[in-house]
């Protein structure tokens, strides 16, 4: 893939820090996918049919499961053999260089600006779930009450 040796003049802690930063970026990207699905549901909730709502909830559930239980565990860079650490570091730096060549900017993981999120879609979705659960609970209470009245 690459013959360039990016690891030259880098200490092991510097290489570990860069690899851990990349891992955090990958986790952030998973969160962004969840966010996009939640925003889509929030913006189009009233127009969506039941199948589309369920499909989006499944997507959110799958991404959330990936955040909670990642399929590929994050390697422990402290115990990783030095040769493998160099190989991973060189690959990450090579990919960073490609991103910079293609887009003329630094990779997103090293961007200095912060993003402020509007949490309203999550709040709205939480309120809808709460309302649905309360509605189901109330209807079950009524059914139980009717059933008990008929038996006595």
- Give pLDDT, residue 126: 77
Provide the residue range defining the domain that includes 55.
12-114
Q: Is the pTM of this model over 0.85?
A: no
Tell me: do 133 and 85 sit in the same domain. no
Helix axes 120-151, 12-44, angle to 10 degrees: 60
Per the structure, the count of domains in the chain is 2
Quick check: is 150 in a domain?
yes
pLDDT band at 117 (very low <50, low <70, confident <90, very high): low
35/106 same-domain check:
yes
Q: Is residue 46 part of a domain?
A: yes
Whether 37 is covered by a domain: the verdict is: yes
Residue 141, in any domain of the structure: yes
Do residues 87 and 19 both lie within one domain? yes
| pLDDT tens-digit map of 62-108 | 877 877 776 666 677 788 888 888 888 888 888 778 877 877 765 55
Q: Both 66 and 135 in a single domain? A: no
Confidence of residue 152 (pLDDT cuts 50, 70, 90): very low
Residue 110 is classified by DSSP as: G
Residues 134 and 110 in one domain: no
Q: What is the pLDDT of residue 59?
A: 79
Residues 39 and 99 in one domain: yes
**Burial class of residue 23 in the structure, from the number of CB atoms within 10 Å of its CB (0-12 exposed, 13-18 middle, 19+ buried):** middle
Task: Indicate the SS3 state at residue 72.
Answer: coil
86 and 150 share a domain? no
> Residue 114: pLDDT band by 50, 70, 90 thresholds?
low
- Residue 5 placed within a domain: no
User: Do 125 and 78 belong together in one domain?
Assistant: no
């Amino acid at each position: 893939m690459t013959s360039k040796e990016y690891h030259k003049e880098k200490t092991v802690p510097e290489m570990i820090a860069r690899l851990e930063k990349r891992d955090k970026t990958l986790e952030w990207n998973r969160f962004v996918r969840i966010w996009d699905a939640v925003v889509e549901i929030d913006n189009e909730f009233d127009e969506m049919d039941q199948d589309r709502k369920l499909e989006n909830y499944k997507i959110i559930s799958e991404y959330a499961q990936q955040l909670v239980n990642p399929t590929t565990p994050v390697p422990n860079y402290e115990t990783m053999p030095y040769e493998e650490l160099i190989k991973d570091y060189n690959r990450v730096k090579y990919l960073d260089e490609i991103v910079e060549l293609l887009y003329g900017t630094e990779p997103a993981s090293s961007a200095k600006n912060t993003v402020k999120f509007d949490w309203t879609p999550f709040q709205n979705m939480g309120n809808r779930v709460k309302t649905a659960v309360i509605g189901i609970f109330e209807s079950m209470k009524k059914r139980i009450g009717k059933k008990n009245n008929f038996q006595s």
